[in-house]
């Protein structure tokens, strides 16, 4: 059968399936008009019943249904990512035709899966690169629609939620320009040395305790984030990914009661636990049997927590309605970041009054104020654009309170200052110029903390996952990790905080931000603790015990710790649990022959490793997605994606299996980009040998989309240098910033916004502030697409 005959067969397919020829705009019609011609022209040579390349047969395939959806998902990804038709084909599809075809498939899958669990995968951040980079940054296609973002509810970020709750019970210091790295009000809440993120009650009032630090850690109580977040690499803050489930709501209610009790009454402790000094407390209360219990904590006499209108209620025997309303207004504003309406105030005041009647003043305060923690506005930020008239494209610009909260949320986790709330209340947040004024003001003011900026870089680089990578003890020690396994994880969490600080330092300089992050020779370090990880692996020879030392060496192989230059003092943000941790670190430099930028920091390397070894595939995938703007399709469910278990072979050798033709189509996008990082082992140590042989560090940039980038590289350092100098890499970085601040993947209509943002970044000498400012002044950020008629219909 020849090609022409095959095309004829496929063209006849709709005749076998009468619905496929139905007139109108439905999926059936679109299948016939959009999908079948593309398949006829580009797919049938290889995927007919006779050819069946890769055992994929598209001849006779029906439109998308829930039964064949897996096949169509593969077709979508293969075409969108330019894997099919194969390169070098005679008649490749135009990029725009490819995009239309891929978009139509996802529309059809959405439609087919409406009653079968839904389909939203194409909106996931990991699918952001499924639109051809050259379409976005090349000449603008004709007939683009003015862009906007769908009206939506933004579930608050777990860290945002936790920061707000923390501000109710802790009085963090204001920003100190003399110590810019020290945690201040509104900053990110870091994990502790064990990787736990928690907010504690009365930490700053504790003056002593019975027992050691472990006993203290067991006796102090706190709460972790209540909301969930995808536990995965990559951007993860999209609003469409999250809601609040019943279990989370129950947990929030429970935590709310504890918080309210603490706000109202302070630490839950016996009178003997309060004293000016620990020595004033009777010895009988210091018995060791109390270790680890709440009764073993001793508190200073003066309250340290914020004394708020909730506390004020406890100071009045019979609080009046205005007293209750004051507490309601305060709590509502802190938790929702906006002032309550009069109706909302009355409603919550009535609930509070009833609870106090039921349970008495003290317990009534706790129960009666709990509902505010569960108000929709405390958990979901609204971007519904319900005020204002839609333009001819169905777009409405955000305004007033919604716009104030959107501007605030782009940077901050705490409620906006009164100036922004007043602007919203007084009709001064309705134009692009209004937004420009407020964004410029916030960007210029370091005292307004901007944890969202850091959050972006954590999600972009993924270095914050280093402490979460569970290491096999023997494999870790063989790589030069600490023989005390717990110390390894502590080192990772500590180095994560150090990398946070380096990023903030580079952001403060705001010059060539991406290039600097990729190539800087600077590092923030706890010199003694980090030295082994910044050092080199030498051999598997067990080091000798120093006869003068009390204990044996804490490494079971021979390494050369890095002796970093003296450097200058710098502060970092570290979690406080037992006592104020030392915030001092050193800003120093790495050995430039061994390391360069964040991709060579131990935290990035470990974050992209696994329990036993390096993860060259993850590392390569990171380069492919975050720097080259390409992606790899989901692994087909039929693939057993395991490397052979050969403990005495190098990872490079074990990865030979990925070169089989079926695997290599995808793995060529990742493996040659990840293998240059074999110059480090899976604990992040630099190495020149592997299994006693010289380590092979070569790799290659293949089919990057920029011919200047393509070609072999001798190691990771050469590859990083080449990538950091690339305009394309800069543009891909801008695409990721777009996704983070828009909370969605880009579309073809966003091309002008992306190009403007890239120019803003480039023209400003690589300023992150200029980039974010450009994004926030764009239509994509300001406008929401609404469908008033559809909403009216549902009511």
Partner 1 sequence: MLNRRNLLRGLATGMGATSILGAPHAFASRPNFSIKTGGAKRVIFFLQNQGFAPETCIPEGMTESGSLDGVTLPEPIQALDPYKDRMHIITGLHGRHTSPSHSAYFGALGGYRGGIGVAPGGATIDHVISGLLPETIMPHLRLGMDALENMISRPTLATLSASDAGKPLYMHSNPVNLYRLLFGGIATGDVKRRYEARSRVFDSIESLAGQGVDRLPAGERERYSSYVNGFRDINGLRERLHDVSDHLTNFAPEYDERFTQPEFETDWHDALLDIGIASLKAGLTSVLTIGSGRGEIFGSWKGLGITEQGHNLGHMKQPDNPIWVKIRQYNCDMLVRLMQALESMPEGDGTMMDNTLIVYTSNNADKQHTNGANWPFILLGNCSGAFRTGQYTRLTSSRPLNDLYATMLHAIGAPHDHFNVSRAQASQYRSVAGPIEELLA
Rounded to the nearest 5 degrees, what angle is found at the Cα of 349, between the Cα atoms of 344 and 352? 130
- Residue 487: Cβ within 10 Å count: 15
The rounded distance, in Å, linking the Cα atoms of 605 and 590 is: 15
The rounded distance, in Å, linking the Cα atoms of 599 and 604 is: 6
Site track 79-118 with partner 1 (rule: CB under 8 A), x = hit: ----------------------------------x-xxxx
Residue 258 binding partner 1, by CB under 8 A: no
Give 205 or 744: the residue with its C-beta nearer to partner 1: 744
Beta strand pairing call for 686-687 and 536-539: parallel
Q: Of these, 42, 63, 130, 152, which contacts partner 1 (CB under 8 A)?
A: 152
Residue 57 binding partner 1, by CB under 8 A: no
The rounded distance, in Å, linking the Cα atoms of 792 and 236 is: 33
| Measured torsion, CA atoms of residues 740, 741, 745, 746, in degrees rounded to the nearest 10 | -130
Q: How far is the CB of 249 from partner 1 (least distance, A)?
A: 5
Site track 157-196 with partner 1 (rule: CB under 8 A), x = hit: ---------------------------------------x
Burial call 533-544: b when 16+ CB within 10 Å, e when fewer: bbbbbbeeeeee
The rounded distance, in Å, linking the Cα atoms of 689 and 483 is: 21
Which tokens belong to 624? Answer: 């492919």
Give 60 or 711: the residue with its C-beta nearer to partner 1: 60
Q: Of these, 17, 51, 135, 153, which contacts partner 1 (CB under 8 A)?
A: 153
Site track 683-722 with partner 1 (rule: CB under 8 A), x = hit: ----------------------------------------
Residue 214 binding partner 1, by CB under 8 A: no
Residue 359 binding partner 1, by CB under 8 A: yes
Site for partner 1 in 112-151 (CB under 8 A): 113, 115-118, 120, 150-151
Q: How far is the CB of 71 from partner 1 (least distance, A)?
A: 9
**How far is C-alpha 258 from the geometric centre of its chain's CA atoms?**
29
Segment near partner 1 (CB under 8 A); pick from 235-243, 555-563, 666-674, 743-751? 235-243
Q: How far is the CB of 741 from partner 1 (least distance, A)?
A: 19
Residue 247 binding partner 1, by CB under 8 A: yes
Residue 289 binding partner 1, by CB under 8 A: no
**How far is C-alpha 114 from the geometric centre of its chain's CA atoms?**
28
Give 198 or 573: the residue with its C-beta nearer to partner 1: 198
Site for partner 1 in 628-687 (CB under 8 A): 637-638, 640-642, 645
Residue 347 binding partner 1, by CB under 8 A: yes
3-state secondary structure 262-288: HHHHCCCCCHHHECCCHHHCCHHHHCH
The rounded distance, in Å, linking the Cα atoms of 389 and 271 is: 61
Q: How far is the CB of 2 from partner 1 (least distance, A)?
A: 29
Residue 345 binding partner 1, by CB under 8 A: no
Give 445 or 660: the residue with its C-beta nearer to partner 1: 660
Q: Of these, 11, 41, 111, 240, which contacts partner 1 (CB under 8 A)?
A: 240
Give 223 or 622: the residue with its C-beta nearer to partner 1: 223
The rounded distance, in Å, linking the Cα atoms of 308 and 330 is: 8
Helices 432-444, 400-409: inter-axial angle, 10-degree rounding: 30
Segment near partner 1 (CB under 8 A); pick from 352-360, 413-421, 497-505, 654-662? 352-360
Site for partner 1 in 466-485 (CB under 8 A): 470, 472-474, 485
Q: Of these, 367, 396, 701, 729, which contacts partner 1 (CB under 8 A)?
A: 367
Residue 53 binding partner 1, by CB under 8 A: no
Alpha-carbon Rg for the chain, nearest whole angstrom, is 29
Q: How far is the CB of 113 from partner 1 (least distance, A)?
A: 8
Q: How far is the CB of 363 from partner 1 (least distance, A)?
A: 7
Sign, Cα dihedral of 225, 227, 233, 234: negative
Write the DSSP assignment of 535-578 as a string of letters: SEEEESPPPPPPTTSSS--S-SSEEE-------EEEE-----SS
In the chain, how long is the greatest CA-to-CA distance? 98
Sign, Cα dihedral of 548, 554, 559, 560: negative
Q: Of these, 5, 19, 213, 243, which contacts partner 1 (CB under 8 A)?
A: 243
Which tokens belong to 752? Answer: 């002008």
Residue 213 binding partner 1, by CB under 8 A: no
Q: How far is the CB of 708 from partner 1 (least distance, A)?
A: 35
Q: Of these, 224, 427, 565, 711, which contacts partner 1 (CB under 8 A)?
A: 224
Going by C-beta distance under 8 Å and a sequence separation of 6 or more, which residues neighbour residue 521?
589, 590, 592, 595, 596
Site for partner 1 in 772-791 (CB under 8 A): 786-787, 790-791
The rounded distance, in Å, linking the Cα atoms of 170 and 6 is: 72
Site for partner 1 in 485-504 (CB under 8 A): 485
Q: Of these, 62, 83, 251, 487, which contacts partner 1 (CB under 8 A)?
A: 251
Counted residue by residue, the chain has a size of 795
Site for partner 1 in 384-443 (CB under 8 A): 384, 386
Q: Of these, 53, 204, 323, 375, which contacts partner 1 (CB under 8 A)?
A: 375
Site for partner 1 in 572-611 (CB under 8 A): 611
The rounded distance, in Å, linking the Cα atoms of 353 and 359 is: 10
Give 179 or 347: the residue with its C-beta nearer to partner 1: 347
Size of the site for partner 1 (CB under 8 A): 71
Token pair 């077709």: residue: 75
Which tokens belong to 625? Answer: 């997605």
Q: How far is the CB of 753 from partner 1 (least distance, A)?
A: 22
Residue 249 binding partner 1, by CB under 8 A: yes
Q: How far is the CB of 645 from partner 1 (least distance, A)?
A: 7
Q: Of these, 134, 288, 358, 710, which contacts partner 1 (CB under 8 A)?
A: 358
Give 52 or 474: the residue with its C-beta nearer to partner 1: 474
Residue 229 binding partner 1, by CB under 8 A: no
> Measured between alpha carbons, how far is residue 83 from residues 76, 106, 371, 621, 675 in Å?
10, 17, 52, 16, 22
Q: How far is the CB of 560 from partner 1 (least distance, A)?
A: 28
Residue 742 binding partner 1, by CB under 8 A: no
Residue 66 binding partner 1, by CB under 8 A: yes
Segment near partner 1 (CB under 8 A); pick from 62-70, 262-270, 403-411, 732-740? 62-70
Write the DSSP assignment of 343-389 as a string of letters: HHHHHHHHHHHHHHHHH-HHHHHHHHHHHHHTSHHHHEEEE---SS-
Segment near partner 1 (CB under 8 A); pick from 372-380, 437-445, 526-534, 772-780? 372-380
Going by C-beta distance under 8 Å and a sequence separation of 6 or more, which residues neighbour residue 681?
479, 480, 537, 614, 687, 690
Q: How far is the CB of 213 from partner 1 (least distance, A)?
A: 15
3-state secondary structure of 793: helix
The rounded distance, in Å, linking the Cα atoms of 329 and 349 is: 9
Give 56 or 560: the residue with its C-beta nearer to partner 1: 56
Give 596 or 682: the residue with its C-beta nearer to partner 1: 682
Nearest to 756 by CA among 146, 136, 141: 136
Q: How far is the CB of 367 from partner 1 (least distance, A)?
A: 6
> ω before 148 within 30° of 0 (cis)?
no
Q: Of these, 171, 254, 521, 688, which contacts partner 1 (CB under 8 A)?
A: 254
């Amino acid at each position: 059968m020849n090609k022409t005959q095959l095309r004829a067969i496929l063209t006849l397919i709709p005749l076998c399936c009468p619905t496929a020829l139905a007139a109108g705009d439905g999926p059936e019609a679109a299948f016939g008009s959009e999908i079948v011609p593309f398949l006829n022209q580009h797919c049938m040579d290889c995927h007919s019943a006779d050819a069946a390349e890769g055992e994929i047969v598209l001849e006779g395939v029906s439109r998308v249904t829930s039964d064949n959806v897996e096949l169509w998902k593969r077709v979508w990804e293969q075409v969108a990512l330019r894997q099919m038709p194969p390169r070098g084909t005679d008649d490749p599809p135009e990029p725009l035709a490819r995009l239309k075809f891929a978009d139509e498939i996802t529309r059809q899958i959405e439609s087919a899966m409406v009653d079968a669990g839904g389909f939203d995968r194409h909106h996931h951040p990991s699918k952001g690169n499924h639109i051809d980079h050259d379409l976005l940054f090349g000449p603008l296609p004709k007939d683009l629609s003015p862009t906007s973002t769908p009206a939506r509810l933004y579930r608050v970020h777990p860290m945002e939620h936790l920061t707000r709750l923390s501000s109710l019970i802790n009085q963090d210091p204001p920003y100190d320009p003399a110590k810019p790295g020290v945690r201040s009000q509104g900053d990110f809440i870091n994990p502790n040395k064990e990787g736990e993120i928690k907010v504690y009650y009365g930490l700053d009032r504790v003056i002593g305790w019975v027992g050691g630090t472990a006993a203290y850690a067991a006796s102090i109580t706190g709460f972790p984030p209540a909301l969930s977040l995808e536990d995965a690499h990559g951007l993860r803050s999209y609003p469409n990914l999250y809601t609040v489930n019943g279990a989370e709501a129950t947990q929030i209610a429970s935590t709310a009661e504890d918080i309210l009790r603490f706000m109202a009454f302070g630490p839950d402790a016996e009178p003997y636990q309060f004293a000016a000094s620990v020595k004033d407390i009777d010895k009988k209360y210091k018995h060791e049997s109390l270790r680890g219990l709440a009764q073993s904590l001793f508190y200073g006499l003066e309250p340290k927590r914020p004394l708020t209108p909730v506390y004020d209620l406890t100071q009045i025997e019979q609080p009046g309605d205005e007293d209750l309303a004051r507490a309601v207004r305060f709590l509502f504003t802190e938790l929702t970041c906006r002032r309550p309406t009069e109706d909302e105030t009355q409603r919550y005041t009535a609930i509070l009054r009833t609870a106090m009647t039921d349970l008495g003043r003290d317990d009534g305060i706790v129960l009666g104020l709990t509902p505010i923690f569960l108000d929709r506005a405390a958990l979901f930020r609204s971007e519904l654009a319900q005020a204002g008239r839609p333009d001819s494209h169905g777009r409405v610009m955000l305004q007033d309170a919604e716009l104030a909260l959107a501007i605030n949320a782009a940077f901050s986790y705490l409620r906006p200052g009164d100036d922004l709330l007043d602007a919203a209340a007084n009709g001064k947040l309705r134009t692009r110029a209004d937004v420009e004024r407020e964004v410029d003001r916030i960007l210029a003011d370091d005292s307004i903390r901007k944890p969202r900026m850091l959050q972006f870089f954590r999600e972009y680089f993924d270095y914050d996952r280093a402490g979460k990578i569970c290491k096999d003890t023997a494999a870790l020690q063989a790589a030069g990790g600490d023989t005390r396994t717990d110390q390894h994880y502590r080192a990772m969490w500590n180095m994560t905080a150090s990398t946070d600080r380096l990023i903030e330092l580079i952001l403060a300089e705001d010059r060539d931000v991406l290039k600097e992050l990729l190539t800087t020779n600077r590092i923030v370090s706890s010199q003694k603790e980090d030295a082994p990880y910044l050092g080199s692996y030498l051999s598997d020879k067990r080091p000798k015990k120093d006869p003068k030392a009390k204990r044996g060496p804490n490494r079971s192989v021979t390494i050369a710790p890095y002796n970093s230059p003296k450097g200058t003092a710098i502060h970092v943000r570290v979690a406080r649990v037992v006592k104020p941790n030392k915030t001092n670190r050193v800003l120093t430099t790495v050995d430039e022959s061994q390391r360069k930028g964040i991709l060579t920091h131990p935290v990035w390397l470990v974050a992209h490793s696994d329990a036993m070894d390096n993860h060259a595939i993850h590392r390569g995938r990171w380069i492919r997605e975050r720097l080259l703007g390409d992606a790899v399709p989901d692994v087909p469910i039929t693939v057993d994606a395991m490397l052979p278990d050969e403990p005495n072979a190098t990872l490079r050798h074990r990865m030979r299996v990925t070169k089989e033709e079926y695997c290599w189509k995808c793995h060529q996008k990742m493996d040659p980009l990840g293998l240059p990082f074999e110059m480090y082992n899976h604990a992040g140590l630099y190495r020149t040998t592997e299994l006693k042989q010289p380590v092979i560090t070569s790799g290659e940039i293949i089919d990057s989309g920029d011919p200047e980038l393509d070609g072999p590289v001798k190691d990771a350092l050469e590859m990083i240098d080449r990538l950091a100098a690339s305009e394309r890499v800069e543009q891909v970085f801008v695409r990721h910033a777009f996704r983070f601040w828009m909370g969605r993947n880009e579309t073809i209509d966003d091309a002008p916004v992306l190009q403007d943002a890239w120019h803003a970044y480039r023209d400003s000498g690589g300023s992150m502030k200029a980039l974010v400012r450009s994004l926030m002044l764009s239509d994509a950020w300001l406008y929401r697409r609404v469908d008033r008629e559809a909403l009216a219909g549902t009511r």
